[in-house]
Amino acid sequence: MRDNGGPDRAIDTDPMPPSPFPLEPTPAAAQAAIRDEFAFFGDWSERYQYLIDLGRKLPPLDEACKDERHRLAGCQSMVWIVPAGDASRLDFAAASDSAIVSGLIYLALRVYSGRSAADIVATQADDIAAFGLGKHLSPTRSNGLAALLAFIRDTAQRALA
């Protein structure tokens, strides 16, 4: 469990509900698949709809985890994230009250959840900008996405320590 933003947030050791992640064998393969999927759509309204559809695929987060302890600081929307595992495999469960943010969570978990801490730390989130999503997000959503990615990276770095 974590305390809202402190550097000494603990990683949950309780088993997590079944997760669909990872879908691809490596973070790089996940980023490439996401880039290809978004390139398929002709305009941003289609991409936003796809993002919302992805958010609907997130496994439900236990209501008990939707508390201040698991709330992600830096997001305008309500976002809760629960890390579990150790350096050999970190899993993340997360939810949001926003459809678009839920889609962003899905993308982040697709790349990072179910991976080793070393893989997470070694994987840059540059592909989000590469397929143009960054410039189409509001500043508050961009800040929230940055907070989510920083939380995942910080969790991995702590697992390696």
Q: Distance between CA 101 and CA 138 in Å, rounded? A: 11
Half-sphere exposure of 84 (CA within 13 A, CB side): 13
Residues comprising the chain, all counted: 161
Is 75 annotated as catalytic? yes
Distance CA 134, CA 114 (A): 24
Phi, psi of 95 (to 5 degrees): -155, 160
Q: Which of 14, 104, 106 is nearest to 58 (CA)?
A: 106
List the catalytic residue out of 30, 75, 79, 133. Answer: 75
Output the six-digit token pair for 18: 């079944």
- Strand pairing category for 89-96 and 79-86: antiparallel
Distance CA 28, CA 52 (A): 23
Q: Is 92 helix (H, G, I), strand (E, B) or coil?
A: strand
The residues assigned a catalytic role are: 75
